[in-house]
Homo-oligomer: A and B are copies of this chain.
Amino acid sequence: MLEQVLIYSRFPKAQLVGIGEHYDLLDAAGKPPAEKFGAEQLKPIRAMITAGGQSIPNAVLDSLPSLGAIICYGTGYDGVDLAELKKRNIALGNSPGANAASVADLAMTLMLAATRRLLPASDYVRSGDWAGSKPSPAMRPPLGMTGRKIGIYGMGEIGRKIAARCASFETEVGYHSRSKHDVPYQYFPTLAALAEWCNVLMVAVRAGPDTQHIIGAEILQKLGAGGTIVNISRGSVIDQSALVSALESHAVAAAGLDVYEKEPHVPDVLTRLPNVVLTPHIGGHTIEGHRAMQDCVIANLDAFFAGQPLRYPVK
């Protein structure tokens, strides 16, 4: 008989098929588990899978008295209270780097689309305005990539992959992270110094209480009127209303965003802006990305139910 595992977040069914071949899944689908399942059903549950970014109230943990492992589908675990888990002796696992290439690719897609004004260019063709030789202010030549200064905030697996891709575009790459890494890019000891230096700020930092709204009006001001910001990390890292104000007042030039403060809600003030490229949190959303994340989830669960340490524990 397969071991039972609770699915805490709302996942598309297709993402659970592979895991469902190894485990008997109780799918709470984003609802509090106690609303979907009786206390007797939840009592024996020893492991659960979560999306990482979704917060887990203590009441949920209380409803799962046998819980020994929380496995995040993906890299992030910012919804999880590490101290609380430690207190309850619950192990935490994730999928480190499994989707890093997919996320870095999307960061590049957003940067290129924002700086080359892909959406206005597409509209210009599809509307017939190009065929009609109508002038379009959005079609003025933008600055290209050559020699641009790209600042990467965060130098984990995703940040490194973004850096390698950016370097091939004949740009200058700099970065900020808590510590200097052994990488061939210029290190900036503060985020402010990086923002001051760069033309494009790529946000690839791990989200958590220490990075909450770390990018606000002040950092955006330093990025400046020619600057573009790209976020594929978590919405919480950027003060979203400060970003909207900066985009509206042209304090920064453009943004490419895959993540938002309250997903899937994206405020109208943001979707109305012409100088932003918005995607629905699809950074890790590729066939290979999902396969790798599922492999990590299964490896973590297998280790846990075998009484071993998690294969990919959050340290």
Binding site for B on A (CB under 8 A): 14, 101-102, 105-106, 108-109, 112-113, 116, 118-119, 121-122, 124-126, 128, 130-131, 133, 139-147, 164-165, 167-170, 264-266, 271, 277-280, 282, 285-290
Q: Closest chain B residue to A103 by CB distance?
A: B144
Q: Closest chain B residue to A148 by CB distance?
A: B288
Contact of B266 with A131 in the complex, beta carbons under 8 Å: yes
User: Chain B residues near A282 (CB, 8 Å)?
Assistant: 116, 121, 139, 141
Contact of B278 with A101 in the complex, beta carbons under 8 Å: no
Please give the distance in Å from A111's CB to the nearest CB on chain B: 9
Please give the distance in Å from A273's CB to the nearest CB on chain B: 10
Please give the distance in Å from A10's CB to the nearest CB on chain B: 8
Q: Which of B125, B266, B287 contacts A142 (CB 8 A)?
A: B287
Please give the distance in Å from A247's CB to the nearest CB on chain B: 15
Q: Closest chain B residue to A161 by CB distance?
A: B170
Contact of B113 with A288 in the complex, beta carbons under 8 Å: no
Please give the distance in Å from A245's CB to the nearest CB on chain B: 20
The distance in angstroms between the C-alpha atoms of A130 and B112, with both chains bound, is 23
Q: List 24 A-B contacts (CB under 8 A).
A: A105-B144, A113-B113, A118-B118, A118-B277, A118-B279, A121-B279, A121-B280, A125-B266, A125-B279, A125-B280, A126-B271, A130-B266, A130-B280, A131-B265, A139-B280, A141-B282, A141-B286, A141-B287, A141-B289, A142-B287, A143-B288, A146-B288, A164-B168, A168-B168
CB-CB under 8 A for A116 and B126, given A142-B287, A282-B139: no
The distance in angstroms between the C-alpha atoms of A236 and B133, with both chains bound, is 21
Number of copies: 2
Contact of B144 with A14 in the complex, beta carbons under 8 Å: no
A109-B112, A119-B122, A131-B266 provided; 15 other pairs, C-beta below 8 A? A14-B140, A105-B144, A109-B109, A109-B113, A109-B116, A112-B112, A113-B118, A118-B118, A121-B282, A125-B266, A125-B278, A125-B280, A139-B282, A143-B286, A165-B169
CB-CB under 8 A for A167 and B170, given A125-B266, A290-B141: no
User: Chain B residues near A289 (CB, 8 Å)?
Assistant: 141, 144
Contact of A144 with B286 in the complex, beta carbons under 8 Å: yes
Q: Which of B101, B113, B142, B266 contacts A146 (CB 8 A)?
A: B101
Q: Which of B105, B279, B290 contacts A169 (CB 8 A)?
A: B105
Contact of A287 with B144 in the complex, beta carbons under 8 Å: yes
CB-CB under 8 A for A288 and B121, given A130-B280, A167-B168, A278-B126: no
The distance in angstroms between the C-alpha atoms of A282 and B128, with both chains bound, is 16
Q: Closest chain B residue to A136 by CB distance?
A: B280
Please give the distance in Å from A197's CB to the nearest CB on chain B: 19
The distance in angstroms between the C-alpha atoms of A141 and B25, with both chains bound, is 22
Contact of A170 with B101 in the complex, beta carbons under 8 Å: yes
